[in-house]
Structures are given as structure tokens and as C-alpha cells.
Structure 1
Amino acid sequence: MAESDQESKTEEPTEKKVRDALDEGKIPVSREASIFASMAALMVIQMFLISNGVQQLTPTLKNLLDDPDGFPLNNGADAQNILTVVGLEAFRFLIPLVVVLVAFGLAASLLQNAPSLVLQRIMPDPSRISPVSGWKRLFGTQGWVEFGKSLFKLASVTVVVAFVLRSSEAKAFEAMYTDPVALPEMILNIAMRIVSAICIATIVLVAIDLAWARFHWRRELRMTKQEIKDEHKQAEGDPMVKARLRSLARDRSRQRMIASASRATLVIANPTHFAIALRYKREENAAPVVVAKGMDVIALKIREVAEKNRIPVIENKALARALYEAVQVDQVIPAEFFRPVAELIYFLQSKQAPRPENVQ
């Protein structure tokens, strides 16, 4: 069932899927890179720190072993003093080694992924102690890959160590007849050769493991087409819901626009297909403003509002259609319509102006 689910995931992960995985602490990590960093740190320690550290530690141990009477040991305080001296010298010897190991380990992690604090990774997870999940990890694809890497490392280390020891066979026989003081340096040189050879042999494995970690991580994040659709709906919203919201917004906008028709000065109609409600007050605007416009049903609603509020409705098919296509609501009419609209407004104002009474 799991294999069929994985086969159905044919689409590359989206940016949101990758971002969620990183936020949850699911990042590609190469274990071989950390092991290689430890071996490289050990090589640096052997080359630069071991000799100086041993030279600093040797006088203290030599004095302790050569002249034990010089260190009184009569009570617990004397024993504590001896342990303090030896402990401080050992601390001075070990602290650079620990710093180098920690620095190389942190570099191996930081160079693979940016640091991040993910509390979810330290929360208890039953799948980590589940025998079924453990069985799947051991005998799944990742388990076989780890088994192959282990075999490669075992074979590489065996060949490298055998080659180095065989090449140092003559020196080992010579050590039987040399000064014992030179033995530590010879052993250190052989150890350095072994560690260096192991590092060189594992570089290829580290490169392959880094590439595999990235590939396996992307493969595990693959999505089905349905998951991509669901994510798109979740991010953008359900198309049906969005269409419904847009429809409601349009309805509310139309209602407000139709209500604004009651403030119009005149309505230009065509006669039922188009209706443009204009408002002109000299103290408000220098030119007429469109307060409402519509066609068909909305045009009839605008005319109905105009009739209720005793607003003049003038039928001019060409002008109504031209205004409908050229002007938006709450905008001043273009300059090319100034003259025909001004003539209509002048006609209405002259018609509504009171006539002087005849004087007898």
C-alpha cells in the first residue's frame, strides 16, 4: 500500500511543501559527511596538536613517575592536589582536541543546512520506537542504501589499513631495534597515514551520500496531483466560494450604485437598455459626475429610482450608449461629452425656471 502511494506521487513538491518540511525539521542530512568531518578533525589533531600537547603533558607525568616522593600523599588534601595538577594538565591537553572535533562537527552540519530551532523534532513520537516502523526503515529503500554504504566503508577501510600496514611492515621490524623514545613518533606517523588514506577513500562516498540525501529528500516530498490541487485551493481559496464572494460583492456594489441614483440631477436612457445617472452641482464639481450606470435590469432599476425621486429621465440612445462605454461610476464625464450634456442640463434648468408674472 505504501509503495502504491509513493508511486502515485509523481509531481515535484511545491514551494509551500518544501517550506513546511524545513519548518518541521525534515531536512536532507548526510551522515557520512559528519563521519568524514570527524576523520578530518582527527587528521588535523594528529598533524598539529598531538605533538605539542604531548610535549606539554610529558614533564608533569614524568615528574610524577620519576620522583613520586616529591609529591606528598599523606592525607586526602595531598591526593586532591595531585589530582588537581594532573587534571589541569589533562584538561589543557584535551580542550584543543575537543574544540577541533566540535568545530568540524558543526561545520559538517552548517554547510549542509542552515541552523534552525525545531521543537517538534524533540517531541515524543511513537513511530520512532514502533517495531513496525523500525522494520520498514531497516528493510526499506533507505535501509538497503545504508547497508550498501556500510559495506563500502568496511571494504574501503580494510583495503586502506591493509595497504598502509603492509607498506609500514619494514618500519615495524626496525622499531624492534630502535630507541623506544622514537616509537611514539613512528606510531603517530603510521596513524596519520591511515587516517589520511581513509579520508581520501571516503571522499567519493561522502559526495555520493550528499547527492543521495538530497535526491531521497525530494523524492519523499513528492506530491500527488490531488494534493497539489488541494494545496492550491487552500492557498487561493475554493473557486466556488471565491465566485460566490465576488457575486455578493458585485450585488452589494450594484445596490449602492442604484441607491446613489437618487442623488442624480438627470438620467440619460436608451430607453430601457442603458441608463446613465448624472449629478451636476456647480459648487461640487466643474463637470457632471456619473453616480450610477447600468444596462437592462439595472437600467430599469435606475429609471425606477429616478421616477420615485422625480429626477428627469431623458431618452437619447446614442448619448446613453456612448456614455455607458466611456465613463465609469464616480468619474467626471470626458470633455467630448461636455456640450451635449450641458445642452440637456440647460434645457432642464430653463424648463424648471419660474416664469415672471405678467404686470397689468
Structure 2
Amino acid sequence: MADDSDNEKTEDPTAKRLEDARKKGQIARSKELGTTGVLIASAVALIMLGDKLGISLMEVMQSQFQLERDDAFDPKKVFSVFGAVIENISAPLAGIFAIILLAAFIANSLLGGINFSWEAMAPKLNKMSPLKGLKRMFGLQAVVELVKSVLKVLVVATVAVLLIKVYLFDILYLSIQDLPNNTFDATEMLAWIFLGLCCSTIIIALVDVPYQVYNHTKQLKMSKQEVKDEYKNTEGNPEIKGRIRQAQREISQRKMMAEVPNADVVVTNPTHYSVAIKYDVEKSSAPYVVAKGADIIAMHIRTIAKERNVAIVETPLLTRSIYYTTDINQQVPEQLFVAVAQVLAYVYQLDQHQKGKGQKPKPLAKNLQIPPEMRH
């Protein structure tokens, strides 16, 4: 029977669990971070383009006050005036809206990144359940949201009081200023006060972001049994492991077969085993195996050797000995040096004879020197 501790969600989510949650649209998000970014961007946009917007609105008001009575009742004139108004204020308004939209996109992507999920957009009937709705209303998340709301009010109210104290003299001085100077000063002052109030929400965001990361991780925590099952269903699955091993074998065989044309000789059983041997003084102090195989692979090695004019020598006892004692890219055992040397010498003499540079060598001795402990 499974231990109860295996079912307790104590383990951090795995990479696969996080990726699956992301596909479902379950990622850490902070509404406070997005709200803070939008508010601060709005204040900055007003400071940057507020003067242009104010001048445009003033020009619009002046033109409207100068409108003749007959023009006010002329539909054509009304539409032309309306078009002039839109043209006048569209540029500063477009700049302000562009800054706000850009800030909204960036601020909401800072935590969790950019993610698009069709599954998250699909309607879910369980979210329409009244019982679950009540549970959300009176659950821990609702308490957290209430605490955040109270904290926001306290922080913003405190900052507002401080800003009023800082700008109190300037506010009172507006009453003795002349138009339109007091209007421009008041607008600028309001923009900076608004920016200060918006910046106060950074405190809320700094608290909310770590909480959202913690809450997201907590929701995705796994039990030890879930971690075991996930491993079994992915890397631990026998079928997947079998396919991985098969792919590894195929890759290894392709590499091995590519080395057969570089071999000095291929010794055979002659039907069941084949071993390709190479002796390169610069790479190794002794002959080493570049390829070996049994049955179908052995036949494939012999086929490649014939196609590339690599010498094939039938030495059943030596072939089996090397096959069972030596791995790929490994030197042949010291006990087999003499036998392998005889084979290489025979191949060399045969090659020289075929080139017309020597006599035909005597047939290779059938009873090569193979120690009893190396025989298979």
C-alpha cells in the first residue's frame, strides 16, 4: 500500500509540469504589476504630451466660441467643424494612447512572459458552478485580494496626503495667478501629483509579484507519486526507453559502418561474425577494432568491405576471440597480438603481390596462436 507521504504535494513542479501548465494558460501573472505600469505610463504620457493636448483643446474652444449662429445650424458646417476638432486633438491623443498600450503590453509580460493558449480561452462549465463561485468569494485568494485592496487604499492615501503637503503652497498660490498661467501651472502640478500617486502603487506590485510566483508554484506542486508517474510516463516508459536505445544503436551502427572502408582487414567467422581491424601507428600503438557485428551486421560489414576493396580473411577462432573480448575503438588484447600480426602481414604481402611488387604469399595458417583462455 502506498505511503500517505507519497501523496502529499511537497515536491516542486517539474519542467514538464510547468510546460503543460503554460500550454493551458496557467502562468504567474500580477494584475498589480500591469496596473502599475499602465498608471505610471499614463502619468508620463500626460507630462510629455499634456502641453500639446492642452494647447489643442484651447484652440478648439476658441474656435467654437467664435462659431457664428448660422453656422451652428448648418449641417455641413457642423461636420467640417467636428472634423477640424478631431484633427486638432488626434495627434496628442494618439501619442498618449500609444504610450499606454505599449506600457500595458510590457508590464503584463514582465511576469510570465508572452503566452497564448487556445485552451485557456475555451469556456469552462466548472467556472459557472455557484458552489465554486462561493468558495472563490470566501477562500484564501479572496482574503488576499481584500488585504491588497486595503493596502492599496492606505498606501495611496498616505502618498496623497504627503503630496498635498508638498504642493500646498503652490496650490494656494494658484488663486492669485492670472489666466491662463494658473491653468498651465495647475495642469502641470496635477500631472506630477498623478505621477506620484501612480508610483505609490509600485509598493503594492513589489509585494504582489513574489506572492503570485509563490502561489503559482504552490498550485503546481506535485506529490512524490506524481513525480514518479511522470518519470515513468516519459523517460522511464519502457517503450520510450526502447525507442531511445534503438535510435542510439542505429546512430552507433552508422558511425561504425562509416569506419569499415578505413580498415586494413576484415576477419570473419566466416558466416556469423565479422570484425574490422585497423593498425595506425599515429593513433594507436597496437591494432584496434573499428567495427564488429554478428549475423546481419556481419554480412553488412563484409558487403561494405568488398565494395571498398578491404581485404577479407577467414579466421574463425581469431574472429570469435576478438568479437567477445574487444569493444569498438579498443585495442586487441595483448594475447592476440601475434595472431593479428600474422593476419596483417599476410594482407600486406597480398597487397604488394597484387601491385606486382612481390611474390604471392603462402596461405595463412589455419591454426593461429590463440591462447586457450581467449577462445570462444
Q: TM-score w.r.t. structure 2 length?
A: 0.64
SS at match of 1:10: strand
The AA in structure 2 aligned to 1:224 is: S
> Paired residue for 2:21?
21
Residues paired across the two proteins, number: 292
> Paired residue for 2:359?
none
Change beyond 3 A, Cα 1:68–1:321:
closer
Change beyond 3 A, Cα 1:320–1:84:
closer
Return the alpha-carbon distance in structure 2 between the equivalents of residues 241 and 100 of structure 1: 50
Encode CA deviations 1:278-334: one digit per residue, 9 max, x unaligned. Answer: 999x998543366xxxxxxxxxxxxxxxxxxxxxxx9xxxx89966742579x9x95
The AA in structure 1 aligned to 2:53 is: G
SS at match of 2:26: coil
Matched, 1:117 2:143: no
Change beyond 3 A, Cα 1:206–1:241:
closer
Matches within 5 A, 1:95-244: 95-239=94-238
> Paired residue for 1:36?
36
Return the alpha-carbon distance in structure 1 between the equivalents of residues 219 and 310 of structure 2: 66
The AA in structure 2 aligned to 1:130 is: S
SS at match of 1:113: coil
Between structure 1 and structure 2, the one with the greater Rg is 1
> Paired residue for 2:56?
56
Query: Is there any run of 5+ residues in structure 1 with no aligned partner, and where?
Result: 247-259, 266-275, 291-313, 347-360
- Could you list the runs of 4 or more consecutive aligned residues of structure 1 that deviate by over 6 angstroms after TM superposition? 4-7, 240-243, 276-280
The AA in structure 1 aligned to 2:234 is: A
Equivalent residues of 2:174, 2:182 under 8 A apart: yes
The AA in structure 2 aligned to 1:37 is: G
Change beyond 3 A, Cα 1:286–1:173:
closer
The AA in structure 2 aligned to 1:119 is: W
Matched, 1:288 2:287: no
Encode CA deviations 1:45-101: one digit per residue, 9 max, x unaligned. Answer: 232111122113322320211x12187234322222222222222323321111111
Encode CA deviations 1:159-211: one digit per residue, 9 max, x unaligned. Answer: 22223234444444443333242332243243234323223422222122222
Equivalent residues of 2:315, 2:366 under 8 A apart: no
Equivalent residues of 1:57, 1:93 under 8 A apart: no
Return the alpha-carbon distance in structure 1 between the equivalents of residues 230 and 142 of structure 2: 31
Encode CA deviations 1:127-155: one digit per residue, 9 max, x unaligned. Answer: 33333333333333322222211111100
Equivalent residues of 1:160, 1:197 under 8 A apart: yes
The AA in structure 2 aligned to 1:112 is: L
Return the alpha-carbon distance in structure 1 between the equivalents of residues 13 and 315 of structure 2: 52
Superposed displacement of residue 8, structure 1: 1.4
Change beyond 3 A, Cα 1:62–1:337:
same
Change beyond 3 A, Cα 1:289–1:190:
farther
RMSD across aligned C-alpha pairs, in angstroms? 4.2
Change beyond 3 A, Cα 1:215–1:69:
same
Change beyond 3 A, Cα 1:288–1:94:
same
